[in-house]
Structure 1
Amino acid sequence: MDRGTVGSASRGRLHVEIRHHGASAVVTVSGELDHHTADLLRESLEGCVDDGYARLVVDCSPLEFMDSTGLNVLLGARLKAEAEGGGVHLAGMQPVVARVFEITGAEAVFTVHDSLDAALAD
């Protein structure tokens, strides 16, 4: 069940949109995720878990840039979601974003999907 967009916020060069799809919170992140904008994503992901959505699907397809601060936000969300019996699924990463996960080895601790549709079907 898709309830449409339930939240949307922007800060600087980052835009975050949240919608619910069944038991999942789908968080679409677009723009640039760095130390200037990371708090917006952190607050959004933590809010989803606080609202009872422990399965977080992060649609990274429109994300143009991410640095280590963004990676740390996702790692923190993963810990919080797993503590509630869920997890973080990453979908549709562009090569520039996927490279951050490859360099750090962080792709090993996330469930990574080629597309949002694949993540929602999992």
Structure 2
Amino acid sequence: MRGPGGSSEARFTVAVRRRPREDALVLALDGELDLDSADVLREALAETMEPGVNRILVDCTDLHFCDSTGLNALLRARRSAEEAGARLDLFALRPQVARMFDITGVGTVFHVYANLDEALTDLLPN
């Protein structure tokens, strides 16, 4: 897991893990995605983009808060993934985070799934 300054006590972490499909990568977010933590997401995404990965699934199960800086980090991550030939999707949004996506209209930009299984079974093209 990564956190600001490498601390294990960080308010925000990103854990990277492979899933049953070799072409898919899961980024599990934990904590609050905001001005203080957006760089952690950017760095994790930059480190994980590799040949053969065409799907990045962002696990928001433990994402408790996301402000406008966090939304921008996710939008940039989506754009970076697309530039690398991958698709970035989200799953398991908590109600308070989903509300922020709805209010800002960002929810229409991403494919959002209820859970990982649903995301993995969706074989939509990039």
Where on the TM-score scale, by shorter chain, does this alignment land: which range? 0.7 to 0.9
TM-score by length of 1: 0.87
Separation in 2, partners of 1:81, 1:59:
16
Unaligned runs of 5+ in 2: 5-9
Matched, 1:19 2:10: no
Alignment of 1:11-50 (within 5 A): 11=4, 12-21=10-19, 22-49=22-49
Give the residue type in structure 2 aligned to 1:20.
R
**TM-score if structure 2 supplies the norm length?**
0.84
- CA distance in structure 2 between the aligned counterparts of 1:33 and 1:77, rounded to whole angstroms: 13
1: CA distance, partners of 2:83 / 2:39: 21
Task: Say which SS state the counterpart of residue 2 (structure 2) adopts.
Answer: strand
Q: Which has the higher strand share?
A: 1
Give the distance between the partners of 1:10 and 1:117, measured in 2 at CA.
27
Q: Which runs of 5+ in 1 are unaligned?
A: 1-7
> What number of residue pairs does the alignment pair up?
114
Partner residue, 1:88: 88
Report the AA paired with residue 97 of structure 1: V
The code of the aligned residue for 1:111 comes to H
Greater Rg over alpha carbons, structure: 2
